[in-house]
Structure 1
Amino acid sequence: MNSIDVISMGLRNMWRRKTRTILTVLGVIIGTSSIVIMLSLGIAMNENFKKEVESMGSLNIIEVSRNYGMREGGSTKEVKLDDKAIAKIGAIEGVEAVTPLEFTYWKFGAGKYVGHVSVIGIDTKVMDKFNFEIEEGRLLDESDTNAVVFGSYIPEMFYNPKSSYYYDSSSSVKLISDKLIMTMNMDYGERRSRQSSSNTEKLPEYKVKGVGILKQSAGETDYNAYMNIKYLKKIQEESNRARSRNSRGWDYGESSSDSYNNAMVKVKDINNVKEVQEKIKDMGFNAFSLTDILESMQKTSASIQAILGGIGAVSLLVAALGITNTMIMSIYERTREIGVMKVLGAELGSIRRLFLFEAGLIGFMGGILGIGFSLAVSLILNKAGLSLGNFFGYMGEGSKVSVIPLWLMLASVAFATLIGLVSGYYPARRAMKLSALEAIKTE
């Protein structure tokens, strides 16, 4: 028998016993859909974890800080995060950009409004590499010195100290067009008595200009302003010297112009973040990225997926036993037919292929229909889950209860077909071993 004969006979045999075939296929549908739906819940959980972490910041960015417990060469000298170290980090394979960071806190004045703002110094040459998105104006560039880019919520931090309703008019602040003053004098612009004004610190005031406002990110960038790190360190040192003079010799300290406490690293490929992170740690620095949190979440998700997949696999195992039972029963009913085929010269391989084809076809049809049923259930779960999530407020935008990717659909159909072939192997072997004469005598 050629392949066309095998397919034709297999389809006719299954159609003759269509009720039993349908019931067997139904078992495979239930088994396939059970394992797909269970796995889809775990996959959705994993994707929701990833979206939640990504909302906190970029997964490609590593935060670097000095390790104060580390010593260089066994001596008592701490490993410095200086320009030389920054360049060494930038030379690591896979690193797209690196910038030192300087965290400071300043008082801003904009006309009659004032605000307390956290200002971060950054390397302006690479600011565009760190996923800053501009809402108004532009990002910092290499030529900027006293320019400032503000987070989206910074305008709301300004208030009128002479008004009894401090925050009512903050929307009137135009940080890009208004003339801005920046100082470490926290009493700047505040109402005060003559006695308190005589004790006010005489600290420098710097004219700066706002050049951009960032898009809202739901992260810490919304509450920070950004400046050229070299200019920021310069005016910070000047302000610290002035404060030391005003404080009767109290030393506020000066930071080294090429030494930093923190840095930020952008990795080209998210898959290389862990490797780059380990290399930075080997240099003697602390390194943290959001992939650390994601990795912990994914381990939890993998455990849950394994449990859910195991539950679904039980249903598929039952379906496999159903296929085996169907094929064995088919042998008993077709014993005489098998004997006639052998007498007429049918090869044993052809008989085996016939039974394997029928078993595999049951698995394939069950897998295809199981995927269709799974997609319908997944749609219902997502609609119901979204409604409940919106009602209780615990599901974020774009979150899903069930996700069935293409690879899972293809893998499920292939697995169901394989289950059918494996289940039909024993009955096929049994059909091959039947004695032709004994089979013909069977009524």
Structure 2
Amino acid sequence: MLFKDQVDFVRQHLKRNRLRVFTTVLATTMGCAFLIVLASIGFGLQGSMEREILTDEAVTEIQVYEDGQNKTNVDAIRKMENVRAVIPKTNAELMANVKFENRTNSVNVSMTDFKEEEKVGRKLSEGRLPQNSNEIIVGYHFAENLLSKADMKEQEKLNEKASENDSPVSEQEKKFGYKESLVGKTISVKLQTYESEKPINKELTFKVVGVTEKPAREWDVKNLILFSNDLKSDFYNIYKSSVKGSKDVKPEENIFYTELKVHATNLEAVKGVIAKLKEQGLSVYSITEQLDEINVIFLAFKVGLIFVGTIAVLIASIGIFNTMTMAVTERTREIGVMKAIGASPKLIQRLFLMESAWIGIIGTVIAIVISYGISFLSNWLLPIIIDMATDSNQFQEADIVFSHIPWQLILVASVISIGVALLSGWRPARKATKIDVIQALRQE
């Protein structure tokens, strides 16, 4: 019998028992769709969490921590393969009291190497990176925190109101701060130690040449100034001159704390650079390590969901087994005739396996289409429903994906569904090959 004839033979028998085949296909569809949709939750939440992490920090950035005893060889790290830049970022136990026009602001003193920042392509919302020590860049929210005395009174009133209503101050209510661009403007700065209540008298002037990019998260407030690392010794001398007794002067290492930010050339090179840094006895941290931990957790989560979904497919396989068993019983005489005219047991077994496979394939295809529809609707409706229930817009603004169906999931679900269908039809197919010809022909 030709393959085309075998297909026609199977199709005719499926048409003959449409209702029974329909209910069996429906059960297979529901089981497979349940498997895909359930597992897609794991893929969707994992993707959302990864995007949240990757937009929060530079993925090629590696933080290097010094042990305080051995000085890190920065030049040696810069010469490493796949290292694009090494940025020493310095934080100081000093405050910068800023004055601009009739407005003031206070921020912690932070310094960086702008030449190395340029190598990694630091993004700014406006302006450029500083080219000398008299130029600075300010944080995205620095201007709105430049307050006049009237602004401070207004801010205090809003904070009291928010405290009474137990709700945060909305952006619409914030009508204070400097509203124009600070790029090109000159500001005055006076340093102040944490122990002192008054700033040091010496006044410094800096030109604002850039503003950092907008943070990925709305609650992340960037109220800061980035000075050049070249000012480290100048700031320390200003601090020393403000201390009355020489015995009270803290050493430079107690005033300034420097951490290294090593940037790899690309994401794939991060693990190699981390390994080389650890070989030198350095303590390091990279966002990729956090992603690895998340991937392990979600892998176990997805395997669990697929296991639960597979149980639904196995339950559906009972229907396929019953359908094929009844088909063998009803067509005993037909099987006897086929054997009498020379059909081999392998051919008979193949015909029944083709029927069960056909049921599995149709059910799987329909399940895939339904799963994509459910995935689309859940990603669209769930954020709206949750925000309505919680009276907020957090989920819609966060752009969380609740369900994602990658092609790998479709492949795994299809193999499981069709494989279970074939296994369900194998036993009845084997039973069909063992039917006695004479007894089969005697049946009416």
Q: Calculate the TM-score normalised by the size of structure 2.
A: 0.82
Runs of 4+ in 1 over 6 A off after TM superposition: none
Q: How does 1:14-413 map to 2 (within 5 A)?
A: 14-68=14-68, 78-87=69-78, 91-93=80-82, 95-104=83-92, 105-128=95-118, 130=120, 132-140=122-130, 143-160=131-148, 165=153, 170-171=177-178, 174-185=181-192, 201-203=200-202, 205-218=203-216, 222-229=222-229, 231-244=230-243, 246-248=244-246, 250-255=248-253, 261-270=258-267, 272-391=269-388, 392=390, 393=392, 395=395, 396-413=397-414
**In structure 1, what is the Cα distance between the partners aligned to 2:429 and 2:232?**
81
SS at match of 1:171: coil
Question: What is the Cα deviation at residue 333 of structure 1?
Answer: 1.4
* CA distances 1:280-316 after superposition (whole Å, capped 9, x unpaired): 3342232223344444444443343333322221110
**In structure 2, what is the Cα distance between the partners aligned to 1:131 and 1:290?**
19
Gaps of 5+ in 1: 69-77, 188-195
**In structure 1, what is the Cα distance between the partners aligned to 2:415 and 2:151?**
72
Question: What is the Cα deviation at residue 216 of structure 1?
Answer: 1.1
Contact persistence 1:81–1:260 (CA under 8 A): no
SS at match of 1:358: helix
Q: Calculate the TM-score normalised by the size of structure 1.
A: 0.82
Aligned length: 414
**In structure 2, what is the Cα distance between the partners aligned to 1:289 and 1:252?**
32
Alpha-carbon spacing, 1:10–1:126, altered in 2? closer, same or farther (3 Å): farther
Q: CA RMSD in A?
A: 3.1
SS at match of 2:248: coil
SS at match of 1:79: coil
SS at match of 2:438: helix
Gaps of 5+ in 2: 156-174
Alpha-carbon spacing, 1:275–1:400, altered in 2? closer, same or farther (3 Å): same
SS at match of 2:178: helix
**In structure 2, what is the Cα distance between the partners aligned to 1:352 and 1:119?**
80
Alpha-carbon spacing, 1:31–1:241, altered in 2? closer, same or farther (3 Å): same
Alpha-carbon spacing, 1:85–1:432, altered in 2? closer, same or farther (3 Å): same
* CA distances 1:2-49 after superposition (whole Å, capped 9, x unpaired): 211111111111111111111111111111011111111222221222
**Equivalent position of 2:436 in the other structure:** 435
Question: What is the Cα deviation at residue 172 of structure 1?
Answer: 5.0
SS at match of 2:252: coil
* CA distances 1:231-269 after superposition (whole Å, capped 9, x unpaired): 23233233234234x44553232359xx97311123344
**In structure 2, what is the Cα distance between the partners aligned to 1:240 and 1:36?**
64
SS at match of 2:263: strand
Contact persistence 2:118–2:129 (CA under 8 A): yes
